[in-house]
Each structure stands twice: as structure tokens, then as C-alpha cells.
């Protein structure tokens, strides 16, 4: 939640001269996105988002991200649309950083989603999976099994600072997931980070999905498990089966889940819980004290991981097969 | 530059129900304002600014600030206008903080202002001084001589960490200013913080002034000296007489400066340089290392203070009397 780079009006004007977007009337740095600097622009036409890509984003990944948004929007998904420059390029440069102009999506993310919203999220996720079909670029998921192992090697020594006994527990979990990770499920483009702040609503109606900067190719059902973890637990740590049922029904109404995909959900959900546990753990251990960044608690995802480990039947997620 | 308080959609909806402003379509925390949390709202009508007043602002000062904006806007100044609720109140509450809805002012602040912009700033400052006439509330300037002494008492012990010898130099300066501070100059409402980021332009045309949260009653020419310090020095520390001349001519074209006011400018400019030196010094010494806040260099204002101390004639500011 930060603006890392300031821009001067001269540089911005030169940048905008490459586009056909009307006259600029204001620009404000907005507190949105963890990895990039984002500005909300008003013009004599439509409002726009200007994104400057900071160091944590690989420049070589940008054609995938921007191309994907264009592909999904063309396929009918409501998501931000990168605007081409007059020369056709989707990517430019501003303040020495790669930069893109992106359409502004009206809507608000929900701090307190209800089951009816989870149903819409499930539908939208399935629509995303269908709309991703045919996208010609690919990007491996850097935060799957191999990535988790690398992250774990950097944090394992100190994990007992967070809770004693964790070193053994997480090592065993990684071994289990390596041995049991499903391989033959349907794969495609996944969002991989569809948390509350990446889904906009107008009233109770879902108005669009944003932030495709973790998107990659992976198992579609793994994306479903990420959403179960992000949307269907209460603040006290309890799984809300009503929300889980709504999310899964919403998804399956658009894209049916095979028996194999459903059977794999507990393992996939353990994997996605571990993925967010590990990145939060790493940030927790490496962010200097006093830095004005909200550190997300890794324990939240440890508790989710433990929940999925004791699942006996997928009926516990709310699946009525 | 931060958003300190998040707001939930339910609380925001209840807050907005008290106003007649159309339907909310988005809200974004914006990186603007050091003291408060600011959100840019889009609605089915006009965009708006929502300000949540954080601890550093005295709640008892808010009627002065909000009433002043209303008074100045009614007097023809282009500045943000607080919107009344349906019950007429300018101030409400949101997320347990005092909160106000304020009209959105299009325009951008200049990172690299030129002399022609300084002329417009001078004009606008004089217009503000005239428009402030008749405003019935008053607010003493907490950051004048007495306030400087209090700040100095908190920092004097450690000032030599910034530059050796400063303890004697600043103590002498405070004594000098106490003895020579002008008393009988025209007074009224001043902005007291009219830096670049508080003046908006559309193209080369000044579109409005913002951020009245340091406004108070004080000598009008003291406000002029704040602007000289804020607008008429180059990054290398040199006073730019062309900009100074433009700013002063712009001001005097709207509100003439008396001989006494002009003669007092060097002392007033020493005072305003000391004021920003002292607040920056205090922040410098008390902000924890690693905090993600841009610390402003107090030395910038020490150099300005020294410049004003060696002024032999106000002609050096660019005044052709």
C-alpha cells in the first residue's frame, strides 16, 4: 500500500502525449497494490490508472500480464484494460520505470463479504478460467512446490520464533505435498491472488477483477483452493461452510469441477495455505521493525493449513456432489 | 503521505447517507496530506475528497478550517468546499474519527515551478488574504514565536548532531527575532503552509489552493515570506530573484504591501525559515530510523535563514519600489 515513485508533470505530459486519452486534469498517488506505484488520473475523458512497475516485478513478465488483461477483457471478463499507445505498444517508460496506462474500473472491494458475494466470486473465477483459454503466452508459477522449498530454506532456521515446533511441522508438510501434489488435473491461466481487495463490487454486484500480477499457468482447481482460503474463513479462524458452498456452487455453475479436481481440493488447499504462510513468514522475518508496512500474520495461514489437513471428506467444504 | 485509517463499505455507506451526493462508485486512499487520511471518491455525480482527521489535528480547530474554506470559496477563491450534510453540519464521524466531505479540485501541483507560476501564486495568496476578511472565527498561530521557543527547548540539546555550532546560532536567532518581531503590521487569516503541493495548476493556469490545516490569524506579510521561502529558492539553495520578483509583483498587483511590510520582510523571512527549520529538526530527531516516512532535511531551511540574515536591502528580494 504505497506510492514508491513520484512523477513530475513534465515527464507525465510527455508520457501521455504518446496516448490518445484526452487532457490530464489531475493525478493522485493511490494506496493500492503492494508491488507497484499506482496513480489515479482524471482526464477530460475517462479516469485512468497509471502503473509504474517497481523492482519486485520482473520486466520480462509484463507482456504476459498486460496481454492477459487484454485477452480476458476481449473474452468478456470485466477487468482493467491496458490502453495501447498511438504506436500500438502496451508498455512505455516513465520516471525510469516500465509504465502502463490502464482503464479505471469502478467498484469497491468488500471488507465484510457475505455468502452471496462468495458465490459471485466463484462464478467470476470460473469465467476467468474459461476466458484465459487460448491465451498464447505462458508463465510458470514461481510460487508452487519448488518456490515453496526455496522460501522455506530461507526461513526454516528462524520459524520457531513464530511458534515452537513449526520447523518439523512445515518440513513434514512440504514432504507430504511433494509426494501427493496432483499432476493430471486441468491447467490453464490462473489469477493466483484473488483476495478480497482484488474483487470489486457495485452494491451487491461484482463489477470486476483486478491485479493480475501473480497470474500464471497452473492447475485451475488450485486457484479455487486459493479463493476458499481467502474468502471462506471468518476472522476467528473458523471455516464458513455456507460461504464455501456458495463459492463452489458459483464456480461449478460456470465451469464444472471433475471428480478428480474435487477429490484433490484438500491437498490443493493445503498447498495454497502453505504458499501464503511461507511468503508471509518470509516477510515477517525480514521486514525491519518500525517499517510502516502492515505485516500480515503468517499464523492465519498456518491455522488454515491445519484445518485442511484434518479434512476427512470434501463434503466438509460444502460440496454436495 | 499516508492513509492511516481504513474504512469499511458499510460505515462509508452510512456516512454518505447523511449527504446528498449521488451513489458511490469507488473510493481510493490517496497519498496526500501528512496529517490526515484522504480518500478520493467517485460517485454518480462529482468526484469528492473524504478526509478523516487523525490525532495530530485538534478537533476544536475543525470548525475554523472548514468554515474558512466555505468563507473563502464564497468570497470567490478557488479552494475545496466542504459539503454540508442534509442536517447542515460540515463535520461528521467515520471510523471513530471526525470526517468531512470536500469538493474535488482538478489540477496538479508543480514539481518544477517557473517564475510565471510564482506570479500566480503571489496573486492567489493576496486574493486569499482579501477573501479572508470578515471571517468571524479566529485561531492563533501555534507556530509563531512562542511555539518556536517550545520546539527549540525540545531539540536544542541534540541540534549539534545536525551541524556543530547550531546550538548557539539558533539560540541567538530566537533572541533576535523575539526582540525585533514586528507587531503593528496588517493581520488577518493566513494560509501558513502554501508550498508547491498545496497549489494546483491546469496547464499554466492556477486552478486552486488546498490544505488549509495550518491556517490561522497572523501578519499577512508573514505569509508572503513563507511563500518566498517555499517558491523562490532553487534546489542548489540559491535565491532566484526572478521568481521572487514575480511572486511579489503578483501579490502587490492584488494587495499592495505597505512600506512597513516591505521593510519587515527580511525579519519575517528569517522567522518563517526558522519555523520550518524547527519543525523539520524536531521530526528529524524524533522519527525512528527505518520508518517509511520521507524526512525533510532541516538544513534546507537553515541555509534559507542564513540567506535572509545577510540581506542588506529588500531590493535583493526583487522588490522595485
Which CATH number is associated with domain A9-103? Answer: 3.30.200.20
Contacts of B111 in chain A (CB under 8 A): 6, 8-10
Beta carbons of B26 and A107 less than 8 Å apart = yes
Mean pLDDT of chain A: 93
**Which residues are registered as beta bridge partners of A200?**
A208
Domain range annotation of chain B: 15-103, 115-317
Long-range CB contacts (within 8 A, 24+) of B284-292: B284/B162, B285/B155, B285/B158, B285/B161, B288/A290, B289/A290, B290/A288, B290/A289, B290/A290, B290/A291, B291/A290, B291/A291, B291/A292, B292/A2, B292/A291, B292/A292, B292/A293
CB < 8 Å to B47, chain A: 42
CB contacts, 8 Å: A200 with chain B:
26
Cell numbers at residue B120, please?
500566480
C-alpha to C-alpha distance for A241 and A115, rounded to whole angstroms = 9
Question: A134 is written with which cell numbers?
Answer: 487460448
Q: Across residues B212-223, what is the average pLDDT?
A: 97
User: Would the pLDDT of B1 be above 50?
Assistant: no
Considering CB atoms only, which of A26, A202, A293 is closest to B106? A26
Distances in Å between the Cα of A46 and the Cα atoms of A25, A206, B42 are 11, 21, 12
Q: Specify the pLDDT at position B180.
A: 97
Contacts of A281 (CB under 8 A, 6+ apart): A151, A155, A159, A162, A298
Instruction: Kindly state the percentage of chain A with pLDDT values over 90.
Output: 84
Q: Which residues of B touch A112 (CB under 8 A)?
A: 8-10
Mutate to test the interface with A, among B12, B13, B22, B30 (most CBs of A within 10 A): B30
CA gap A141, A272 in Å, rounded: 12
Identify the pLDDT of residue A189. 98
Residue B294 confidence (pLDDT): 63
Q: Is B28 an interface residue toward A (CB < 8 Å)?
A: yes
Chain A nearest-CA distance from B57, in A, is: 20
Q: Is the pLDDT of residue B2 over 60?
A: no
- Mean pLDDT on A136-143: 96
Cα B270 to its chain centre, rounded Å, is 17
Which of B30, B111, B291 lies nearest to residue A30, judging by beta carbons? Answer: B30
With cut-offs at 50, 70 and 90, classify the pLDDT of residue A1: very low
Nearest residue on chain A to B5, judged by CA atoms? A31
CB A174 within 8 A of CB A149: yes
Task: Determine which helix (DSSP H) or strand (DSSP E) holds A179, and give its type and residue range.
Answer: helix A166-180
Q: What mean pLDDT value characterizes chain B?
A: 93
Asked, colleague to colleague, whether B15-103 and B115-317 share their fold, the answer is: no
A287: confidence class by pLDDT, cuts 50, 70, 90? confident
Contact (CB<8Å) B290/A291: yes
Q: What is the DSSP letter of A156?
A: G
Give the tens place of pLDDT for each residue, B48-96: 999 999 888 899 999 999 999 999 999 999 999 999 999 999 999 999 9
Determine the average pLDDT of the residues in B280-286: 91
Contact A106 B26 (CB under 8 A): yes
Beta bridge partners of B189: B217
Which of B9, B27, B111 is nearest residue A9 as measured by Cβ atoms?
B111
User: What letter does residue A60 receive in the DSSP assignment?
Assistant: G
Are the CB atoms for B122 and B231 separated by under 8 Å? no
- B197 contacts on A by Cβ (under 8 Å): none
b or e along B248-286 (b: 16 or more beta carbons within 10 Å of the residue's beta carbon)?
bbbbbeebebeeebbbbbbbbbbbbbbbbbbbbbbebbe
* Residue A205: other Cβ atoms inside 10 A: 10
Q: Looking at CA atoms only, how far is residue A154 from chain B in angstroms?
A: 23
Q: What is the DSSP letter of A159?
A: G
Please work out, in degrees rounded to the nearest 5, the angle formed at the alpha carbon of residue B179 by the alpha carbons of B178 and B183: 80
- Whether A286 and chain B come into contact, CB under 8 Å, resolves to no
Task: Show residues of chain A in contact with B110, CB under 8 Å.
Answer: 9
Out of 3.40.50.150, 1.10.1510.10, 3.30.70.141, 3.30.200.20, select the CATH number for domain B15-103: 3.30.200.20
> Average pLDDT of A186-203?
97
**Would you call B294 an interface residue with chain A, using a CB distance cutoff of 8 Å?**
no
* Nearest Cα to Cα of residue A265 among A196, A315, A230: A315
In the A/B pair of chains, how many CB contacts fall below 8 A?
Answer: 89
Cα separation, A179 vs A198, in Å, equals 32
Q: Looking at beta carbons, which residues of chain B come within 8 Å of A106?
A: 25-26, 42
A4 has pLDDT over 70: no
pLDDT of residue B9: 84
Closest partner CB to A29 (pick from B31, B202, B290) = B31
CB A50 within 8 A of CB A99: yes
| Domain A115-317: CATH architecture, name and number where available | Alpha-Beta Complex (3.90)
What secondary structure, in 3-state letters, does chain B show?
A: CCCCCCCCHHHHHHHHCCCCCCCEEEEEEECCCCCCEEEEEEECCCCEEEEECCCCCCHHHHHHHHHHHHHHHHCCCCCCCECCCCCCCCCEEECCEEEEEEECCCCECCCCCCHHHHHHHHHHHHHHHHHCCCCCCCCECCCCHHHHHHHHHHHHHHHHHCCCCHHHHHHHHHHHHHHHCCCCCCEEEECCCCCHHHEEEECCEEEEECCCCCCEEEEHHHHHHHHHHHHCECCCCCECHHHHHHHHHHHHHHCCCCHHHHHHHHHHHHHHHHHHHHHHHHHHHHCCCCCCCCCCCHHHHHHHHHHHHCCCCHHHHCCCC
Whether A287 has its CB under 8 Å from any CB of chain B: the answer is no
To the nearest whole percent, how much of chain B has pLDDT over 70?
Answer: 95
Q: Which of A25, A46, A50 to mutate to test the interface with B (most CBs of B within 10 A)?
A: A25
Share of chain A above pLDDT 70, in %: 95
- pLDDT over 90 percentage in chain B: 83
Q: Find cell 508463465 and name the residue.
A: A139
Binning pLDDT at 50, 70 and 90, where does residue A161 land? confident
Facing residues of A190 across strands?
A: A216
Task: Output the pLDDT for position B291.
Answer: 55
Distance, CA of A258 to CA of B231 (rounded, Å): 67
Find all residues with CB under 8 Å of A40, minimum gap 6, and list them. Answer: A27, A28, A30, A47, A48, A49, A104, B28, B30, B40
Burial B215-232 (b: 16+ CB within 10 A, else e): bbbbbbbbbbbbbbbbbb
E strand segments, chain A: 24-30, 37-43, 48-52, 92-94, 97-103, 187-190, 199-202, 205-209, 216-219
Is A294 at the interface with chain B, CB within 8 A? Answer: no
Using a 10 angstrom Cβ sphere, with 0-12 exposed, 13-18 middle and 19 or more buried, the burial of residue B195 is middle
Query: Cβ(A189)–Cβ(A67) under 8 Å?
Result: no
Residue A162: what pLDDT?
87
pLDDT digits (tens, 9 = 90+) for A7-59: 888 899 999 999 999 999 999 999 876 678 999 999 999 999 999 998 888 99
Does A184 or A2 have the greater pLDDT score?
A184
Nearest residue on chain A to B31, judged by CA atoms? A29
- Tell me the C-alpha distance between B221 and B268, whole Å: 8
Is residue B226 within 8 A of residue B193, CB to CB? The reply is: yes
Decide if A30 and B42 are in contact by the 8 Å CB cutoff.
no
B111 and A31: CB-CB below 8 Å?
no
With CA atoms as reference, the chain A residue closest to B111 would be A8
Question: Is residue A29 within 8 Å of residue A49, measured between CB atoms?
Answer: no
- For B94-115, the pLDDT digits (tens) are 999 999 999 999 999 999 999 9
Longest distance between any two alpha carbons in chain A, whole Å: 61
Lowest model confidence (mean pLDDT) among A314-318, B113-117, B133-137: A314-318
Q: Does B2 touch chain A (CB under 8 A)?
A: yes
Residues of B with CB below 8 A from A105's CB?
26
Give Cβ neighbours of residue B203 (< 8 Å, ≥ 6 apart).
Answer: none
CB B242 within 8 A of CB B116: no
With CA atoms as reference, the chain A residue closest to B49 would be: A28
pLDDT at B253 over 50: yes
Provide ipTM, 2 decimals. 0.85
- Tell me, what's the pLDDT at B273? 98
- Contact yes or no for A285/A155 (Cβ under 8 A): yes
d(CA B57, CA B49): 17
Task: Find all residues with CB under 8 Å of B30, minimum gap 6, and list them.
Answer: A28, A29, A30, A31, A40, B3, B38, B39, B40
C-alpha cell at B203: 496547464
For residue B312, how many other CB atoms are within 10 A of its CB?
7
**Distance, in angstroms, between A45 CA and closest chain B CA?**
13
Amino acid at each position: 500500500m504505497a506510492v514508491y515513485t513520484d512523477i513530475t508533470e513534465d515527464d507525465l505530459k510527455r508520457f501521455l502525449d504518446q496516448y490518445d486519452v484526452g487532457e490530464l486534469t489531475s493525478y493522485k498517488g493511490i494506496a493500492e497494490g503492494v508491488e507497484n506505484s499506482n496513480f489515479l488520473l482524471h482526464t477530460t475523458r475517462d479516469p485512468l490508472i497509471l502503473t509504474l512497475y517497481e523492482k519486485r516485478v520482473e520486466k520480462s513478465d509484463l507482456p504476459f500480464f498486460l496481454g492477459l488483461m487484454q485477452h480476458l477483457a476481449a473474452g468478456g471478463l470485466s477487468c482493467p484494460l491496458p490502453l495501447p499507445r498511438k504506436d500500438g505498444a502496451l508498455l512505455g517508460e516513465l520516471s525510469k520505470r516500465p509504465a502502463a496506462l490502464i482503464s479505471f474500473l469502478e467498484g469497491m472491494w468488500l471488507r465484510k463479504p457475505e455468502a452471496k458475494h462468495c458465490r459471485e466470486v466463484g462464478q467470476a473465477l470460473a469465467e476467468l478460467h474459461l476466458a484465459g483459454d487460448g491465451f498464447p503466452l505462458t508463465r510458470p508459477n514461481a510460487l508452487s512446490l519448488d518456490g515453496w522449498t526455496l522460501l522455506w530454506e530461507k526461513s526454516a532456521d528462524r520459524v520457531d520464533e513464530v511458534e515452537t515446533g513449526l520447523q518439523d511441522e512445515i518440513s513434514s508438510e512440504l514432504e507430504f505435498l511433494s509426494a501427493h501434489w496432483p499432476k493430471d488435473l486441468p491447467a490453464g491461466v490462473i489469477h493466483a491472488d484473488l483476495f478480497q481487495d482484488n474483487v470489486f463490487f457495485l452494491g451487491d454486484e461484482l463489477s470486476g477483477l483486478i491485479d493480475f500480477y501473480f497470474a500464471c499457468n497452473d492447475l485451475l482447481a488450485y486457484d479455487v483452493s486459493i479463493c476458499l482460503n481467502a474468502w471462506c474463513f471468518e476472522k476467528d479462524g473458523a471455516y464458513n461452510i455456507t460461504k464455501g458452498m456458495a463459492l463452489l456452487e458459483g464456480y461449478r455453475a460456470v465451469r464444472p469441477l471433475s471428480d478428480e479436481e474435487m477429490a484433490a481440493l484438500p491437498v490443493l488447499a493445503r498447498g495454497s495455505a502453505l504458499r501464503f504462510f511461507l511468503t508471509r513468514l518470509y516477510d515477517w522475518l525480514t521486514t525491519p521493525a518500525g517499517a510502516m508496512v502492515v505485516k500480515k500474520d503468517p499464523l492465519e495461514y498456518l491455522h488454515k493449513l491445519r484445518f485442511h489437513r484434518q479434512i476427512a471428506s470434501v463434503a466438509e467444504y460444502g460440496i454436495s456432489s
